[in-house]
Amino acid sequence: MSQASFDASIPVLTEVLKAEPLSDEGAAPPPISAAEQLEADAIDGWTDAEWAVMEHRLSVRIMHQLQSRVDFVLEQRIKDSMAEVLSHALHDLTNEIRIGLHDTIEKIVSRAVSQELTHLQAQKK
């Protein structure tokens, strides 16, 4: 990376502290953090190529973070949806089997009763 050259239009820390009024409690405002200073230096000193590299790195990192989150949420929603669909399908299937079983048993009992009555009537004669 290129080194930032001294720019007289940018105040130094002591000038900033002198220019800002004290807070209500009478204490001076907190000094600029190292991260803020690095950011300020980057804004002033980075070339277009360095900005492009940073943009690419940030894009890749954000895409990875988003993709993993999207994958998790999608998987969870599919599981929830499938559980609900399977539950409804199982309920419907159980009802169909129950109705079919009731019909079959009713027909078997009716046939058995009919055969028994026919058999008893045949014995009477």
Q: What is the pLDDT of residue 39?
A: 78
Lowest mean pLDDT among 3-12, 15-24, 49-58, 101-110: 15-24
C-alpha R_g of the chain: 41
What is the residue type of 40?
A
Q: What is the pLDDT of residue 54?
A: 87
Asked if 37 contacts 29 with a C-beta cutoff of 8 angstroms, the reply is no
d(CA 38, CA 45): 10
Reported confidence tier of residue 88, pLDDT bands at 50, 70, 90? very high
Asked if 17 contacts 31 with a C-beta cutoff of 8 angstroms, the reply is yes
Q: Quickly tell me which residue has 């820390």 as its tokens.
A: 13
For the entire predicted model, the pTM comes to 0.39
Q: What is the pLDDT of residue 15?
A: 65
